[in-house]
């Protein structure tokens, strides 16, 4: 079993390397159309030096090069090894928690890959690409169809999840005229509700708001931000959803024990 987990982790960090390419090269035009150019070798963003195969080994190259380009010696973004590491962990963890014979594990893994793209893309660009949300919708739809066929979810709980997941943000967007939230958050909220269903979507949103509030306070205290500073919310939604997928029921049980 251990060797299989290791193989899954290695596969994940390789996928993570590709996810980095998508995050950096995906461009959103003014008409909201997405353009992804995968042609050409990877280059240093500073000196435009083409990277050799040795410099493209996930995580290992970053460590050997000490986080610097071999050409211009400029710092390499921490995003590269971090995305690779997270992708490796999120390939390994579903298999570890759900088991190799669980069909849901193999659907959750690619869902997590899209989560990573949304997390870092919104963090960098303050926008959630519709093309990624559309791909996420297709995977979640397959996920829910299987759950419905296997009677692992109640249709009513799925409906409640969607209404709570996106409806709450829809109210915030309309009432604030997009000052508090964007339409990308609304779309993502609906998709997370479709994925998690009721009551796990409530746990997910609570975790998102708590973590978002904590990070905002830290930024205000140490980075000079203020209450009007724009902070992307999708990363917190993704974080809350990932935790809820693994430990949502445990969190609910822990909470209910207090009553």
H-helix or E-strand spanning residue 26: strand 26-28
Tens digit of each residue's pLDDT (9 = 90 or more) over 191-234 = 999 999 999 999 999 999 999 888 888 877 776 565 455 678 89
Q: Say what the pLDDT of residue 229 is.
A: 56
Residue 83 structure tokens: 């995305």
Distance CA 220, CA 212 (A): 12
Q: Say what the pLDDT of residue 224 is.
A: 59
φ, ψ for residue 43, nearest 5 deg: -130, 160
Q: Say what the pLDDT of residue 182 is.
A: 82
- Alpha helices by DSSP H, listed for the chain, are 2-25, 60-64, 79-98, 103-125, 130-149, 155-176, 183-196, 200-222, 234-257
Tens digit of each residue's pLDDT (9 = 90 or more) over 4-31 = 899 999 999 999 999 999 998 888 876 5
Distance CA 128, CA 141 (A): 19
Instruction: Tell me the average pLDDT across 154-178.
Output: 90
Q: Say what the pLDDT of residue 69 is.
A: 78
The CA–CA distances, whole Å, from 128 to 173, 176, 244 equal: 15, 19, 21
State CA 82 to chain mean position distance. Answer: 13
Q: Say what the pLDDT of residue 55 is.
A: 76
Tens digit of each residue's pLDDT (9 = 90 or more) over 57-69 = 889 888 888 888 7
The CA–CA distances, whole Å, from 248 to 65, 68, 127, 152 equal: 40, 40, 27, 15
Residue 37 burial by CB count (10 A; 0-12/13-18/19+): exposed, middle or buried?
A: exposed
- The rounded percent of the chain whose pLDDT value lies above 70 is 93
Higher-scoring residue by pLDDT: 177, 141: 141
Distance CA 210, CA 237 (A): 10
Cβ-based neighbour number of residue 47 at 10 Å: 12
**72 by DSSP, 3-state: which?**
coil
pTM: 0.91
pLDDT band (50, 70, 90) for residue 241? very high
Instruction: Tell me the average pLDDT across 69-88.
Output: 88
């Amino acid at each position: 079993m251990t060797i299989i987990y290791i193989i899954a982790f290695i596969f994940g960090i390789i996928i993570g390397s590709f996810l980095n390419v998508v995050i950096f090269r995906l461009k959103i035009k003014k008409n909201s159309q997405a353009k992804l150019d995968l042609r050409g070798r990877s280059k240093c963003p500073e000196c435009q030096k083409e990277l050799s195969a040795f410099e493209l080994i996930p995580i290992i190259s970053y460590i050997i090069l000490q986080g610097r380009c071999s050409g211009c010696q400029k710092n390499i973004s921490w995003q590269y090894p971090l995305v690779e590491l997270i992708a490796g962990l999120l390939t390994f963890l579903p298999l570890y928690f759900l088991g190799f014979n669980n069909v849901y594990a193999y659907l959750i893994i690619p869902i997590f890959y899209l989560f990573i793209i949304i997390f870092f893309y919104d963090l960098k660009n303050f926008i959630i690409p519709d093309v990624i949300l559309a791909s996420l919708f297709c995977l979640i739809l397959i996920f829910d169809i299987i759950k419905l066929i296997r009677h692992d979810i109640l249709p009513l709980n799925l409906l409640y999840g969607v209404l709570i997941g996106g409806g709450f943000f829809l109210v915030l967007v309309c009432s604030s005229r997009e000052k508090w939230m964007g339409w990308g958050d609304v779309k993502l909220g609906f998709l997370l509700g479709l994925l998690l269903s009721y009551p796990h979507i409530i746990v997910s949103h609570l975790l998102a708001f708590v973590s978002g509030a904590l990070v905002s306070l830290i930024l205000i205290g140490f980075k000079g931000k203020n209450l009007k500073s724009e902070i992307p919310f999708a990363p917190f939604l993704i974080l809350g959803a990932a935790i809820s997928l693994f430990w949502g029921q445990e969190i609910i049980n822990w909470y209910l024990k207090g009553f």
